[in-house]
Chain A
């Protein structure tokens, strides 16, 4: 019996064969923490009394969730992480001015590569699966243990294979494919399992679209959301990588717990209604949903390709007078690129507010919190009760083009409605 890409990556790191279901302790290539998960890890790590990190060059710390500091308490947490990075010689420490939203930043900086095992104390660490890496989110204690030992305990996951075929409809991208998939299998449809995205549509997707798909694997409970590298992956990796990488692919006779196929010609742009990412409707069935705010950004859709899409829709138009449009480029590089390409000008002329990179509103931190009863359409990843503010506010998840179009219309609409 052949092996999946996930089993192969884990087996190489363990230097022996593995099968799904096995519990292993395996070497980690990159360990990531941020300003809200690292402080708990630092407390645990320092209690251990270990003198050094397993490999300071493979530890990445990003201040992105409540940074630039949203208040005094966030400032204290950032200060705590900053001091830790200095004390233990963490070079890959990203502070305001260099930082971006971690899952947009790490691939851009070439810090995560095909074939890697990446552990991050952030649930959206599954994003890097799009590069052909095994990458998964854990808690702070796990991160502290990796800092000390360089190893993580894992159950080798079973894999569900998703096959996407057919022609993509206009304004349909990675966000719509993954929302449709989560709608199909539910928020725990892939719990404990790896999701592997395959089929003729995947090689036609940009890296940005693929990163969006892998990013939301966790919203179906997935441990990983993996895509075998191809030419597009390597084109992305080559100019960025500063170390060796290895490309893996699943064997044709690999064992899957399930195979699900989707005819993409039947998939419209998707909108996830409150209060679960699985509560999706095609745009044609949305009905009349008026909104107060629109957010374009986050680790899910804050890349340059996402901003270009939004700009295509917003160019020469005005945001509805009753709507606040907030646009958050994922990293400094993306922000600069957006300035150079004239995208920021389009956004500002349309009446949008453009922010420095931050996770901010996505998790209800700051930079666009919702009041009681308010509704927001967002390119983010979660629409749980109270996720972006008041318990009685509502978040609708969609792709950047639908979000931009809705900001113009003042209600959730297909892009064609405003063109």
Chain B
């Protein structure tokens, strides 16, 4: 599978989950509502201006802080197709895999600019920057995580494994 999209925003290091979705919005389980407030702690206009299929890029330790799954849900529900970062905080990383939001760890994010168009090959893990013709590699997922990604998240994995 391949996806292509434009880099909507490039974020600094250590973006925390309070910035992704402030705690005042943790009183809902509605994806639509969470989508309206994605990244509100850092950019009030983000949710209004991001388009379906856009990609977000970040420096190291994206998603640090609380375990709130509302954070990756808000990002996914507002239309972001994938996150590329130098590294992810651990709980955010597993939350993304669990809910089926594609993420890639890439050491070369410094070369990616806001507005670049990227094509990502999920099989090879290669990112092609169609704006600059560069290609970047990403950290490959271990086999178990590959399986989670292939089936679309943890609940589907549990369903299949336990024949539910």
Contacts and interface: CB of A to CB of B under 8 A. Distances in A.
A65 B66 CA distance: 13
B162 A365 contact: no
A71 B69 contact: no
B91 A137 contact: yes
Interface string A132-175: 00000111111011001100010100000000000000000000
B27 A138 contact: no
Interface in A21-72: 23, 36-37, 39-40, 43-44, 47-50, 65-66, 71
Interface stretch (B2-10, B13-21, B110-118): B13-21
Interface string A10-24: 000000000000010
Given A36-B26, A123-B65, A188-B60, A149 B158 contact: yes
A221 B64 contact: yes
B107 interface: no
Contact of B61 (A125, A141, A187): A187
B90 A192 contact: yes
A278 to B, nearest CB: 9
Nearest to A72: B27
Contacts of B14: 187-188, 276
Nearest to A369: B24
Interface in A364-396: 364-365, 382, 384-387, 391
Contacts of B144: 23, 153
B67 A65 contact: no
Contacts of A48: 155, 158-159, 164
Contacts of A386: 18-19, 22, 41
B81 to A, nearest CB: 20
B145 to A, nearest CB: 7
Contacts of A145: 98, 154-155, 158
A141 B64 contact: no
B23 interface: yes
Interface residues of A, number: 52
B89 interface: yes
A191 B90 contact: yes
A384 B16 CA distance: 8
Interface string A179-199: 000000001100110000000
Contacts of A385: 18-19, 41-42
Chain B contact patch, size range: 35 or more
A215 interface: no
Nearest to B142: A23
B128 interface: no
A223 B90 contact: yes
Contacts of A141: 69, 95, 98-99, 153-155
Central interface residue in A43, A188, A276, A365, by most chain B CB within 10 Å: A188
A39 B99 CA distance: 15
Interface string B64-94: 1111111011000000000000010111001
A40 B70 contact: yes
Central interface residue in B23, B28, B99, by most chain A CB within 10 Å: B23
A155 B153 CA distance: 17
A325 interface: no
Contact of A384 (B19, B90, B95): B19
Given A223-B90, A385-B41, A187 B95 contact: no
A385 B44 CA distance: 14
A47 B154 CA distance: 13
A113 interface: no
Contacts of B68: 36-37, 139
A176 to B, nearest CB: 21
A331 interface: no
Interface string A274-310: 0010000000000000000000000000000000000
Contacts of B72: 139
A89 B115 CA distance: 52
Central interface residue in B69, B73, B162, by most chain A CB within 10 Å: B69
Interface of B: 14, 16, 18-19, 22-24, 26-29, 41-42, 60-61, 64-70, 72-73, 87, 89-91, 94-95, 98-99, 142-145, 148, 153-155, 158-159, 162, 164
Top 10 closest pairs, chain A to chain B, by CB:
A139-B69, A139-B95, A188-B61, A73-B27, A141-B98, A123-B67, A36-B26, A363-B23, A140-B69, A23-B144
Given A364-B22, A384-B65, 12 more contacts: A23-B143, A36-B27, A36-B68, A37-B69, A49-B164, A65-B26, A148-B164, A149-B158, A149-B162, A188-B87, A384-B16, A384-B19
